[in-house]
Chains A and B, each alone.
Chain A
């Protein structure tokens, strides 16, 4: 009886012999080489999304009643960012470079670029376009904050006119973030810029968003719907805007940017979740996404001379860290779903523009010629 059982086991072992040999190689089979490669074909399915992100155009040329010489269009995606193998992304992300209506404290690495134009928002905006290649310019009317300068809505509107005169690219008009003052400021600015199809930043749940949205709509602008890292709040605010009669093609959303090391994980996942929900058919969230990448300068690593902690390894020069914090913050959110980046450091803006153009498929510089396995023997300068 025992023998029979043993034989059975032996038989099983024999049939599986080849498998066992390869799974548990013993000395005498080890040197026996596998002669040919197996022939496996790599195949992968395409992702099938049902949703589509709204296409939004910012800026109006004379043909559309404005005075811009260029416009930008963002959105329109039917797949995740740069997933051109699922569906070609229709428009590459765009960069809007910030300027302010008064001199502001800036990190040393940024300050040098703007010192000569800080007193004049028009000159500042011009520099952003002429020297730093901005697709758009954002004018932040921060001096209107009652705790800063309490500049009047009328004066602020004048600044907007100056910026519109100074540059011919589309502009973003930002308030100070003061919930009591912003509605009046943004309303006056929207009126002053009537017909230019600016992006009005922004309608928030904690202020009179109705007045802001109405001013934007009545004067032919796009509205930025801003919430703080909260997918449900974003849906809620967007629905309020629909109810007010804001057309879908006039809405961009800002789900909040947190800097690398300071909540970027929340911002990344929040944006990625919104974009995936939209592609799965949630029309409340199917809008282009704007990211305030300048927030990266709030990270202490961006500007502080060295680590406040003695235990840390050397942080190196702040001038090298700051722009890279801004780049990584922007690119990370671009891969999550960002369509538009408000930025500050020219080098960071250029780098984010370049890499997103490449991933989009527009920048074909031929570097495929690089022998990518040669890195093993690559020699660095002494």
Chain B
């Protein structure tokens, strides 16, 4: 974005301090705009006709350095790009890397539909929400328009996820595009030989398009040409070499393209980037699938960190999806977000005075993991969250933030004695070291639970209610 201080943005706001946005003053709102914690649309009065020119100018000044391109429609539409920074601690990365998993038009139909369903339904609980996958890439392996169209139609019937249509043949692409013209798919790809035909398609159907070239001058030229023709929903693919010096070179291109866009302000190349970790499969994927899936995840990791905004992947094995999607979640977590939850005595399910009381710390990840393990196993209980400076159990025991005294203080502050009659608490297995001291300090009986809260259900069978 082109603004560096809240005052610069404030000049364009109505200045009435109307509080409609939820902030006390326009200046406060302006500073949140700069932090990307509020959107321009939150200022309703700005969209009155009399402010139209100011609204337009401010929108341009606030626009991220890297263009934001939307693909797909509806609830699962993906925003791609929209970045303003080179390193996440400078603010936060913004639109998470979209993970696109492939299907291809030579798959048998039942197999195709099953694969689409798996990609669509995949989910993993993580820090209070379900992670899901983002996009499906449909590849034309047959190079036949009819075959591709039939495949795209099947895919569209099975999923509401955004689609990428992949072929270098404009006729093949158009056949697929006709099936999903109302779903805003991304086209892959225009290169230096077919670009005129692909440009015509992108215009006719008004859809975003990927530009591919291994040569960065050509890539920059393609982007400039498309933009001049009024097509600026562009994604750039500079090619992804899977191994060796090619991989090092690919790394260099991604960093340099992003640097040119953000640091040097070269608008002509400031578009979202596509990586294709799937090229790992072209080395020996048909000989050693496990090895190829690992190498694909390695390339994915490299370019999740270094500036791919969307990537195409092949393995939908659980180990691939878990690692790739978790890494995206980690890197795109806003580093300004607090790492801790409030301490307190929480109820999970409908506990009674006979229900167990588990102890944990206030590190958000720890808390959400324990809480979801308990609620998913339908264990009615109390969860006592100790203020351990936002550290996990193991680190807090080692560093002295989770101590018998802290536990005692929490018991007192939240009236734990009034909630349960048994005066028994369950410490995490990783805090076994302080169980004796805790009994002494609190006067409660202390049981040591499992080292991982995922094993609480099994532990309950053997240990609850406590033997007297």
Contact = CB atoms under 8 A, between A and B. Distances in A.
Main SS class of interface, B: helix
A268 B330 contact: yes
B51 interface: no
B122 interface: yes
Contact of A310 (B298, B376, B392, B399): B376
Contact of A313 (B123, B143, B220, B398): B123
B282 A378 contact: yes
Contacts of B326: 260-261, 301
A355 interface: yes
Given A361-B245, A378-B282, A206 B399 contact: yes
A240 B246 CA distance: 44
B301 interface: yes
Contacts of A376: 139-141, 166-168, 188
Interface stretch (B18-26, B190-198, B353-361, B409-417): B190-198
Interface stretch (B32-40, B151-159, B317-325): B317-325
A332 B143 CA distance: 38
Interface stretch (B9-17, B64-72, B260-268, B419-427): B260-268
A181 interface: no
A204 to B, nearest CB: 10
Contact size range, B: 35 or more
Contact of B88 (A269, A311, A321, A366): A269
A372 B239 contact: yes
B245 A372 contact: no
Contacts of A113: none
Contacts of A261: 126, 326, 329-330
B56 interface: no
Contact of B263 (A39, A45, A361): A45
A358 B124 contact: no
B96 interface: no
A327 B125 contact: no
A359 B251 contact: yes
Interface residues of A, number: 89
B399 A375 contact: no
A241 B215 CA distance: 49
B418 interface: no
A192 interface: no
Contacts of A263: 365, 392
Given A40-B221, A316-B319, A378-B282, A269 B399 contact: no
Contacts of B216: 42
Interface string B295-337: 1011001100110000010100111111100110111010100
Nearest to A231: B89
B259 A276 contact: no
A260 B327 contact: yes
A47 B256 CA distance: 10
A292 interface: no
Interface stretch (A22-30, A64-72, A162-170, A242-250): A22-30
A368 B203 contact: no
A83 interface: yes
Interface of B: 87-89, 104, 106, 121-126, 130, 139-141, 143, 166-168, 188-189, 191-192, 195-196, 199-200, 203-204, 212, 214, 216-225, 228-230, 239-249, 251-252, 255-257, 259-260, 263-264, 266, 268-269, 276, 278-279, 281-283, 285-286, 289-290, 294-295, 297-298, 301-302, 305-306, 312, 314, 317-323, 326-327, 329-331, 333, 335, 339, 365, 372-373, 376-377, 392, 394-395, 398-400, 433, 452-455, 457
Given A273-B87, A375-B282, A378-B281, 6 more contacts: A40-B217, A82-B248, A320-B319, A366-B245, A372-B276, A378-B139
Closest 7 CB pairs of A and B: A316-B318, A308-B454, A42-B216, A365-B244, A367-B243, A368-B246, A320-B319
